[in-house]
Structure 1
Amino acid sequence: MCRNITTLRGLDPAATTEEIEAAARQYVRKVTGVQSVSDATRAPFESAVAEIATITARLLADLPERRQPPPTVPPLRRPEVRARMALKELKKP
């Protein structure tokens, strides 16, 4: 998955819960430096992701619509990213 947070406002269809959570997760990873969650970091990390996702969803709902769509497509809407994620899931023990 791309390490950059993409613009979610103005997507058609609107940003999904999954896309909002992915952006929140990327944000928390970036500001904490935690790339791999451990037992020691799991609870505060996941709590922060949930809070930021909730705030982001509310922000996107409260803002007026954009006049133009964002210039890039979010990673979760890209077929190559979805294929990579599906392959990763298949490889899990």
Structure 2
Amino acid sequence: MCRNITTLRGLEPSATAEEIEAAARQYVRKVSGVQGPTAATREPFEAAVAEIAAITARLLDELPARRQPPPTVPPLRRPEVRARLAAKQTSAS
């Protein structure tokens, strides 16, 4: 369903809160069909992201360690993604 969500379990170092939130946000975008929240959708959208991120963090804490790391690197660990996000934040300021 969400091919863009990267496996976070087994990362070294462990998944960060930012990575967990990004995965939760991608999931909520996909299931809700809301890409950019509006005034009418912002509150339930952000509440869902927060709940899913908390549940995901708890799940990752409770699962046993993986034998092998995930096959792909999360987007927030890729230099080109970080550069694009930094440029986006600079242009928005």
* Normalised-by-shorter TM-score class: over 0.9
Structure 1 unmatched runs, 5+: none
* Normalised TM-score (structure 2): 0.96
Distance 2:4 2:14 in 1: 19
- 1:49 CA displacement: 0.1
Distance 1:11 1:38 in 2: 34
Give the 5 Å matches for 1:18-37. Answer: 18-37=18-37
Identity %: 77
Structure 2 unmatched runs, 5+: none
1:84 alignment partner in structure 2:
84
Where do 4+ consecutive residues of structure 1 move more than 3 Å?
A: none
- 1:36 CA displacement: 1.1
1:64 alignment partner in structure 2:
64
1:42 alignment partner in structure 2:
42
Distance 1:92 1:6 in 2: 27
Aligned residues: 91
SS at match of 1:40: coil
1:15 alignment partner in structure 2:
15
Task: Render the CA deviation track for 1:47-83: whole Å, top value 9, x for unaligned.
Answer: 0000000000000000000000000000000000000
Amino acid at match of 2:27: Y
Distance 1:65 1:36 in 2: 35
